[in-house]
Amino acid sequence: MNLANKLTLFRVILVPFFVLAMAFSQHLIALIIFAVASLTDMLDGKVARKYNMITDFGKFLDPLADKVLVAAALICMVELGYTAAWITWVIMAREFMVSGIRLVAAGSKEKIVIAANIWGKLKTASTMVAICVILILHTLGDFGIAFGFTQLISDILMYICTALTIISGAIYVWDYRAVLKE
């Protein structure tokens, strides 16, 4: 297994530790874990491209690792009341739909491996940034630095993520409609 894939796998390994930190309302620890995991998403792609470590396994595992990390964060945030359940539902529905398209494409005669496009990357990056900002606001609250508009900022960020989620999902369906016709 190459370095890029190890970084991706490390992101998956961090998820249970993030969930535990969130379960015990340890926002600072959760923020650090989530930020490190998010940075590995950027780093694994750069390493893979720079050192020609791009593999079909990496193309499959990288978006899956992102989905696991973001899903865990969103579910924890719903449980703690930081975001609405419908937002998590929309984001997760898109993730399952795109994963389904990838599976259909991989199982086709051509064995197509669908890498993340710019819209999917933008959606993932915006969601990870939004989650980090929300965790920063709650971490500040833990230290007595409370803002009356924390929920408003959280809502605005999650609405932006939801819009990008819908747009990127529609683009995936449109771009791979031929695969779905099979």
Q: What is the CATH number of the domain that holds 85?
A: 1.20.120.1760
- What confidence tier does 144 reach under pLDDT thresholds 50, 70, 90? confident
Number of domains in the chain: 1
Rounded to 10 degrees, what is the CA torsion of 113, 167, 43, 99? -40
- CA dist 158 and 131 (Å) reads 8
| pLDDT per residue as tens digits for the range 103-130 | 888 888 888 877 778 998 899 899 999 9
Domain span at residue 80 reads: 3-181
Is the overall model pTM greater than 0.85, yes or no?
yes
Strands (E), the chain: none
